[in-house]
Amino acid sequence: MTGPTQIVVIANRLPIARTPGGWRPASGGLVTALRPVLEASRGAWVGWSGSKEEPPAHVSGLSLDLRAVPLSPRLVAAYYQGFSNQTLWPLFHDLVHQPIIDRSWWEAYEGANELFAGAAGALERPRRQPPVLWVHDYHLMLLPRLLRRGGSRSRILYFLHTPFPAPELFARLPWRAELLQGVLGADLVGFHTDMYRENFLRACRYLLPEVSVEGDTVRLPDGRSVRSSTHPISVDARELIKKIGEPRVQRQTRRLREQFGSRTVMLGVDRLDYTKGILQRLRALELLLERRADLRGRVTLVQIAEPSRYEEPRYRQIRVEVEQAVGRINGRFTEPGRAVPVRYMYRSMPLSRLLSYYLLADVALVTSLKDGMNLVAKEYVVCQAATQGSGVLVLSEFAGASQELTQAVLCNPFDEEGSRTGSRRRSPWAKQSAGAACRPWAPTSTPTMFSRGRRRPSPMPLLLKSEPKGPDRSGCSSPGTPRGLRGAGDRLPTPLSE
């Protein structure tokens, strides 16, 4: 076979979703980031369909071969909902909740990783030119080693999309050595930030006496070397900018601007996950409205929460808590005849509508307690920069994105009491940050965008608009191409070209 080396992605989920109208390409960061690379290499994707139905091998709109790994409901409950989501997820997010240690879940995790290895091996074996096998995320940490032991001839890459915790936390796992050894089956191991990569290397040094760590490389007793690197995932800025220009997005944005009038709009867009700090954000707003009666009726928080992992009790609980807080704040602070302070939507939303909210919002609040990267922050920056908006990104210092979006207002979401107001920043920060927001992300690209300078984070700041909205800053003030969009491609590096 000639042409570019094929890439086979192996991830927990296939990049497709079952909708009432049939199977469709799924949205989400991983698909968006990988799609251009995979389509250019005639790639394949191995994963679980998330449905009881057998998925097709091809889905219109995705030029990829899909190979489903069938998982029984018992395996899904123990491997995915159990070990992946209730043991590894909270542990890797710095114990925002206590992880549950359950041996039967671990056995299921081993079994599921073996099933993924079998499916990937079946795809690799018939090919004369071995593809690159690219394993993703915390669900499949044992897989690189299983592939190698199964006789794979391929180059194996592993990427972790979550944070990697400090070794002292990781050490709590009874299976810490097995997980590290599993990952070290890869030739190259990637992380979003230098901090996660350094945590991984320190964990190898302290917990695996048989290996030695030299710089960014782990040397194994069998003579192999495993390199580690930092590759922050990003968004497809070119696609987003194209979409912002669509008449539908402009129409929606204009309608939203009319609805919200002169109020300061703050925006939260998150999967409804306890790591995202949605409750802390709501409490900060409540404190602000409690202390500043003059602001009641002048600020609105639009919170868009995407349903997530609702089979798990903790996710149902966080939903109840968020909805109670929204009800309490609206009950306390809605002035007769005026709009509510929190407009809450619990649903998945088409990208075009999300973009309208990004264009509308004066402030985006990304207040994760811990977050591997956070693409919402980058999407907001791209939208504001493309339309020369003056929006402010308030970004948790515990989100991976804070390492790159150095012009954002950093916050500590644990410091609710420290909520304060400030005047909005009018510097062209968005343009500068956009550079980081739209860098390419691929296994072959090497630049690291880690910014070493740390600024002192503020308490969670809620910023206020100091002047009314006018057509001058709207970016969508006239029909046709949004202001500032033309030529944005010249200023912003596109995800593919840099």
Tell me if 349 contacts ligand ADP by CB under 6 A.
yes
Tell me if 469 contacts ligand F6P by CB under 6 A.
no
- Other CB atoms within 10 Å distance of the CB of residue 435: 19
H or E stretch including 76?
none
Residue choice 15, 29, 413, 475 for contact with ligand ADP (CB under 6 A): 29
Q: Give 61-68's long-range contacts (Cβ < 8 A, gap of 24+).
A: 61/24, 61/25, 62/15, 62/16, 62/25, 62/35, 63/39, 64/15, 64/38, 64/39, 66/14, 66/15, 66/16, 67/119, 67/122, 67/123, 68/14, 68/119
What is the Cα–Cα distance from 249 to 355, expressed in whole angstroms?
7
Site map 372..391 versus ligand ADP, x via CB under 6 A: -xxxx--x------------
Sign of CA dihedral 312, 313, 314, 315: positive
Tell me if 35 contacts ligand F6P by CB under 6 A.
no
Tell me if 348 contacts ligand ADP by CB under 6 A.
yes
Question: Considering CB distances under 5 to 8 angstroms, the limit depending on partner class, which of ligand F6P, ligand ADP, none binds residue 220?
Answer: none
Q: Which of residues 61-80 bind ligand ADP (CB under 6 A)?
A: none
Question: Considering CB distances under 5 to 8 angstroms, the limit depending on partner class, which of ligand ADP, ligand F6P, none binds residue 348?
Answer: ligand ADP
Identify how many contiguous H helices and E strands the chain contains and give both numbers. 17, 20
Residues labelled catalytic: 161, 371
Tell me if 309 contacts ligand F6P by CB under 6 A.
yes
Residue choice 28, 418, 443, 489 for contact with ligand F6P (CB under 6 A): 28
CB nearer to ligand ADP: pick between 27 and 448: 27
- Other CB atoms within 10 Å distance of the CB of residue 423: 10
Shortest separation between residue 400's beta carbon and ligand ADP, angstroms:
9
Residue choice 5, 25, 27, 321 for contact with ligand ADP (CB under 6 A): 27
Residue linked to tokens 């649903």: 347
Q: Which of 455, 365, 473, 489 is nearest to 419 (CA)?
A: 365
Q: Which residues contact 173 (CB under 8 A, 6 or more apart)?
A: 87, 91, 99, 101, 179
CB nearer to ligand F6P: pick between 30 and 269: 30
The answer to whether 204 and 220 have CB atoms below 8 angstroms apart is no
The SS3 of residue 132 is: strand
Tell me if 15 contacts ligand ADP by CB under 6 A.
no
Residue 351 sits at the vertex; the CA angle it makes with 346 and 355, to the nearest 5 degrees, is 95
What is the Cα–Cα distance from 465 to 468, expressed in whole angstroms?
7
CB nearer to ligand F6P: pick between 257 and 309: 309
Q: Which of residues 104-143 bind ligand F6P (CB under 6 A)?
A: 137
CB nearer to ligand F6P: pick between 312 and 321: 312
Tell me if 458 contacts ligand ADP by CB under 6 A.
no
The answer to whether 116 and 13 have CB atoms below 8 angstroms apart is no
Q: Which of residues 142-161 bind ligand F6P (CB under 6 A)?
A: 161
Shortest separation between residue 403's beta carbon and ligand ADP, angstroms:
14
Shortest separation between residue 300's beta carbon and ligand ADP, angstroms:
17
What is the Cα–Cα distance from 498 to 405, expressed in whole angstroms?
18
Tell me if 13 contacts ligand F6P by CB under 6 A.
yes
Residue 371, token pair as written in the block: 């977050």
CB nearer to ligand ADP: pick between 79 and 89: 89
What is the Cα–Cα distance from 185 to 93, expressed in whole angstroms?
24
Q: What is the CA radius of gyration of the chain?
A: 23
- The number of residues in the chain equals 498
Site map 159..178 versus ligand F6P, x via CB under 6 A: --xx----------------
Q: Which of residues 265-324 bind ligand ADP (CB under 6 A)?
A: 269-271, 304, 306
Residue choice 28, 36, 121, 130 for contact with ligand ADP (CB under 6 A): 28
Question: Considering CB distances under 5 to 8 angstroms, the limit depending on partner class, which of ligand ADP, ligand F6P, none binds residue 13?
Answer: ligand F6P
Q: How many CA atoms lie within 13 A of 56 on its CB side?
A: 14
Count residues binding ligand ADP (CB under 6 A).
Answer: 16
- Other CB atoms within 10 Å distance of the CB of residue 188: 18
CA distances from 154 to 42, 129, 157, 158, 353 (A): 16, 9, 9, 13, 41
Q: Which of 350, 386, 37 is nearest to 237 (CA)?
A: 386
CB nearer to ligand ADP: pick between 370 and 469: 370
Tell me if 473 contacts ligand F6P by CB under 6 A.
no
Query: Of all residues in this chain, which one has the CB nearest to ligand F6P in the complex?
Result: 28
Tell me if 233 contacts ligand F6P by CB under 6 A.
no
Interacting residues with ligand F6P (CB under 6 A): 13, 28, 30, 137, 161-162, 308-309, 372
Q: Which chain residues interact with ligand ADP by CB under 6 A? A: 27-29, 269-271, 304, 306, 348-349, 354, 373-376, 379
